[in-house]
Amino acid sequence: MKLERFAGNPILSAHPDHPWEDLAVFNPAAWYDDAAKEVLLLYRAAESGPEYKCWFGLAKSRDGFHFKRVSDQPALSPSVEGYDGATIQDPRIVKMGDWFYITYACRHFPFGQFWIPEVRQRFVKPDCPPEFPHYLRTNATLTALAMTRDFRSWIRAGWITDPLLDDRDAILFPEKIGGKFWLIHRPLEWVGPRYGTEQACAWIKCADDLLGLPAAPSRLLIKQRYPWEVFKLGVNTPPIKTPHGWFTLYHAVGADKHYRLGALLLDLDDPGIVRHRTPDWLMQPEADYELEGFYRGCCFPCGAVVIGGTLFVYYGAADKYCAVATCDFGQLLEHLRQCPA
């Protein structure tokens, strides 16, 4: 089974008149407001300057395919002097009660236009004394937590991953399980015999408090197994609760460095247990807008919603565009339930 691309992709492109998003818009988080009958996209937006700073923009749609920007200003910007002072990227949205909880990757220093070697080299290592904290000296990517009720007023709660690790693809579950908050994450440094994996992969942890998650112990969730899973692997979309388990999408980087997507079904009571996993990919880069961009050969979703039995998967294409693909959610679940763990 495969996801079907929307014929009108890309659904969002860079806006030449908005300096904060004049280069690229991609990797969108998604939320479906059942009361308003509209899809909300919180997307990563990049400027064209050499620092390659990123913001979050907001767009809405009544049909899930055709989106309109809410404002000509960012919904959320990097902080002035904080841990996310240079870039915010790759948001994921869950909602608990009246509040939206957004996990997002961030850096204190810019990391530059990575696709241009001579520019990227200027931003690889910040000029820091050896006494500075590790994440500053290495310009590591951390994952932070922000909360909002309306996407206008925000609370930045702080780090939700260990600041001694380069840790991203961090995704919350939309409710407590067994009285605890659960987080899937992908620490880049956890490779080798000690961790039982040769490449960065997905781990899971839980804690009584959201800001207790950085210190909580982790369990290995999934690692590379199939031929299309060669290099780093991480979970993409906030889990969707079904009668059969928690559904989520994950990515793996192949030998050709292309990002492909698979699906997982996790145990309802202990999401550290994988019940089913697709042995073949559901989507791979094939369209021009997925193959030509700032990362060639990338489909990277940060949000998926179910509307009227259809799964809408919102993804970044080649680090340049926002796009959407769909499938019958019931059929996908039935297919997934036939797959081994």
Please, which pLDDT band fits residue 124 given cuts at 50, 70 and 90? low
Q: Which two tokens stand for residue 50?
A: 């050499």
Confidence of residue 80 (pLDDT cuts 50, 70, 90): confident
Spell out the domains of the chain, with CATH numbers in brackets. 13-337 (2.115.10.20)
234, two tokens: 């991480």
Write down the pLDDT at residue 120.
65
Average pLDDT for 277-303:
97
- The more confidently predicted of residues 287 and 128 is 287
- Looking at the predicted structure, is the pLDDT value of residue 222 above 90? yes
> Cα–Cα–Cα angle for 225, 226, 228, nearest 5°?
125
Q: What is the pTM of this model?
A: 0.97
305-315 b/e with 16+ CB inside 10 Å = b? beeeeebbbbb
Q: What is the percentage of the chain residues whose pLDDT exceeds 90?
A: 91
Q: 260 and 300 in contact (C-beta within 8 Å)?
A: no
Residue 5: half-sphere exposure toward Cβ, Cα within 13 Å: 19
- Token code pair at residue 236: 């993409």
Mean pLDDT on 159-168: 96
